[in-house]
Structure 1
Amino acid sequence: MPAAVQHRRPRRNRVIRTLAVVGTGAAVLALPLIGATTASAAGSSATTASTTLAGYPNNLDGWIRESLAIMHEKSIPGTYNGIYRNLMRESSGNPRAINLWDSNAAKGIPSKGLLQVIDPTFKAYHVDGTSFDIYDPVANITAACNYAAARYGSIDNVNGAY
């Protein structure tokens, strides 16, 4: 077709396409954050009670709060925000998360659970009164916070992989 006859798309269509791409990208980036907090609660409530044995909600908020109560009893420092920030970075709030690609995994000891703890660290820093299951959210959080307290002073001082 000669250049004079070619149809040009109006500028408006390009703007609409750009907005659609940007909106989709934002939704894709936000989905793990939104899904992590709601999916954890929804996924676990389908197979377990809506509260833990200690009476906390069986979701991310309840697991953190129960861990903090145990940590307080055992004089392990840490705050809700410090735990939440680290577990969102490490597992996006998925208590069944497992890292099968890093250096620990290459050695045969993958990082597991909400705060991505390896088995030897979990065993060494396990806190009495919690489960011995590394995937148990409260046990994972509490052991990881115990380790972080020994190594960094508190989980609040951890701002990257630890």
Structure 2
Amino acid sequence: MPRTGRRRRPLIARMKICLTAAGTCGAICAVCALPLAAAASAFGAPQAAAAVTQSTAFPERLSFSPQQLPPATYTVAAGDCLSEIAARLSLPGWQKLYQDNRRTIGDDPSLIQPGMKLVISGNPASAASPGQGGGQIQSTSGTQKKTYPDNLDGWIREALDVMGRHHIPGTYQGIYRNIMRESSGNPKAVNNWDSNAAAGTPSKGLLQVIDPTFKTYHVPGTSTDPFDPVANIAAACNYAAHRYGSIDNVYGAY
């Protein structure tokens, strides 16, 4: 959120190689590096850093137990890629997953679309419990309710699903990059010293949203508490979409 007096903290470039759902990382084995440059505020002033008393390390994803058989189908979610799906379901590799679903995916395995239903080789009557991240898992016994881990990875993925239902643009990488700059992953972070705080509206939460902005861009179906991680992410991304086109276009004060 716009405020003054911010000193920039250097960002550490993160690189990720994967086969990605369309609209996230790009082509097969494309290397996605998070930019180091910080953009100037649209208000012409640098943003103040949030006062963070606790940071949350980026969580590792859980996988299915090797003893569990994979489910009959898997519904692709935004941010998924074949290699991660295969690893999460304890499959031998993405190549087999691609071959089994080539008619659905097409000639380019990097262009998997959110909502695609992928057939999983194995016992079609067996359903596994969902791990962290990823799309919806289905079996012949019916669709299991999607759940999310209560950590940064889960908050981002749940927010992305909420954003998808409301046609709010943004990617996992763009959200994660901005969260780490704004709050270091602490959902309770509060900036008590910048101009917004002086005006009585301190920036709060993962993406440092002030109350008036949170209320204006609150996404229906999420909590009305600005400290709620999913609600905070969704509102901030909604604001960024209206002002900058997407949270992915934000590299500094916003």
Q: Aligned residue for 2:179?
A: 87
Q: Aligned residue for 1:115?
A: 207
Counterpart residue type for residue 55 of structure 1? T
SS in 1 for 2:57: helix
Work out the CA distance in 1 between the residues paired with 2:56 and 2:160.
20
Normalising to structure 1: TM-score of the pair? 0.69
Counterpart residue type for residue 117 of structure 1? V
**After superposition, where does 1:11-90 map in structure 2 within 5 Å?**
35-37=55-57, 55-90=147-182
Identify, as 1 or 2, the structure richer in strand: 2
Query: How large is the Cα RMSD of the aligned pairs?
Result: 1.9
Work out whether residues 213 and 239 of structure 2, in 8 Å CA contact, stay in contact via their aligned partners in 1: yes
> Structure 1 residue 145 and structure 2 residue 237: aligned?
yes
Deviations 1:36-77 (A, max 9, x none): 2269xxxxxxxxxxx9x9610100000000000010110000
Identify, as 1 or 2, the structure richer in helix: 1
Pick the aligned partner of 1:133 from 194, 201, 225. Answer: 225
Counterpart residue type for residue 149 of structure 2? P
Gaps spanning 5+ residues in structure 1: where? Answer: 1-31, 40-50
Relative contact order (C-alpha < 8 Å, sep 6+): which is higher? 2
Work out the CA distance in 2 between the residues paired with 1:96 and 1:38.
16
Quick one: structure 1 residues 54 and 109, their matched pair in 2 at CA, closer, same or farther if it must change by over 3 Å?
Answer: farther
Gaps spanning 5+ residues in structure 2: where? Answer: 1-51, 60-131, 133-144
Normalising to structure 2: TM-score of the pair? 0.44
Q: Aligned residue for 1:19?
A: none
Alpha-carbon offset, residue 98 of structure 1: 0.2
Q: Aligned residue for 1:27?
A: none
